[in-house]
Amino acid sequence: YAAGLVQSTAAGYVEWVVMDKHLPLDGKIIWSRQMIDLYVTDEMSHLKPGTRRNYRAYLDRISKILCPEEHAYEYTPQNRKSSVAPYTAAEMDRFRSWAANQSNPLKRRRAVAMLALCAGAGLSSSEVAQITPAHVEISDAGIVIEVPGKRTRRVPLLPEWDEWMLAVTEDSTQGERLWGPIARKDYSNLLSTFVENAEGKGNGPRS
C-alpha cells in the first residue's frame, strides 16, 4: 500500500485507541488484531462493509509486521448481515444497572463478569466460561486478560471496566471460574441462556 494511505488510516486509528479508549501507547496493544477488530466493527460501523474491510486491510498490514504472533486471531466478518450496531451509552448504563441489581449473589457476579469480559475485552461466550482469576493480569499499566482456548491471546481490558473486573476477581477463589460452577459442556449459548433467566428481563443485553 502507498505509505500516505496507510499513514492516514493509522493516525486516526492510533488516536482512537489512545484518546478515546484511554489505552497506553504500547505497540503490542495498539497493533493487536483484537483492537483493530474492535475499531473496525465499533468506530467504523457507520461505513459500508467494503470501506471497513479496506481500513482493516491497511491496519492489518502494519500488525503483520509488528505483531506477527497476533495472526491466529480471526477478524469479525464485515458484511451487512453480520455487522450489528454497537450499544449506545444509554444502553450500556442500563446494562450496568441491570447487572448491579441482580439480587442473587451468583447471578450478580455472572452479570458483572459477562459485561466486563464481553464489553471490556470482546470475549465470546465459550471464552468467558473459561476465565479464572489466574487469567487476569493486573498491573499499574492496566488489566490484561490471558484468553485460553482455540484463540489463545492477550487482550487489554478497556479501563472503564477495571473496577468491575477487580470486583469479580476478588469475589472468586484462585482456580475457580469467574462465572462460577458450570454443569454443561457446551458453552456456546451460556450467556444468552443466562440473560434469558436473569432478573429484569428486557433490561439486559440482547441474547
Residue 73 has pLDDT above 70, yes or no: no
pLDDT the model gives residue 95: 94
CA distances 54 to 39, 79, 168, 174, Å, are 13, 12, 38, 43
pLDDT the model gives residue 188: 76
Instruction: Name the pTM for this structure.
Output: 0.62
Question: Mean pLDDT, to the nearest integer, of 84-104?
Answer: 87
pLDDT digits (tens, 9 = 90+) for 149-191: 877 888 889 899 999 999 999 988 888 999 999 887 778 788 9
pLDDT digits (tens, 9 = 90+) for 20-40: 888 888 988 899 888 898 898
If pLDDT is split at 50, 70 and 90, which confidence band does 82 have? very low
| Greatest C-alpha distance within the chain | 56
d(CA 31, CA 100): 33
pLDDT the model gives residue 81: 47
Q: At 176, which amino acid appears?
A: E
Give backbone dihedrals phi and psi of 72, rounded to 5 degrees, phi first.
Answer: -90, -20
Residue 67 has pLDDT above 80, yes or no: yes
DSSP assignment of the chain equals --HHHHHHHHHHHHHIIIIIS---S-HHHHT-HHHHHHIIIIITTTS-HHHHHHHHHHHHHHHHHH-GGGTTSPPPP-STTT--PPPPHHHHHHHHHHHHT-SSHHHHHHHHHHHHHHHHH---HHHHTT--GGGEEEETTEEEEEE-STT-EEEEPPGGGHHHHHHHHHTS-TTS-TT-----S--TTHHHHHHHHSSSTTSS---
110 versus 142: which is more confidently predicted? Answer: 110
pLDDT the model gives residue 179: 94
pLDDT the model gives residue 169: 94
Give backbone dihedrals phi and psi of 142, rounded to 5 degrees, phi first.
Answer: 130, -165
Residue 79 has pLDDT above 90, yes or no: no
Cell of 175: 482456580
Residue 83 has pLDDT above 50, yes or no: no
If pLDDT is split at 50, 70 and 90, which confidence band does 97 have? very high
Residue 77 has pLDDT above 80, yes or no: no
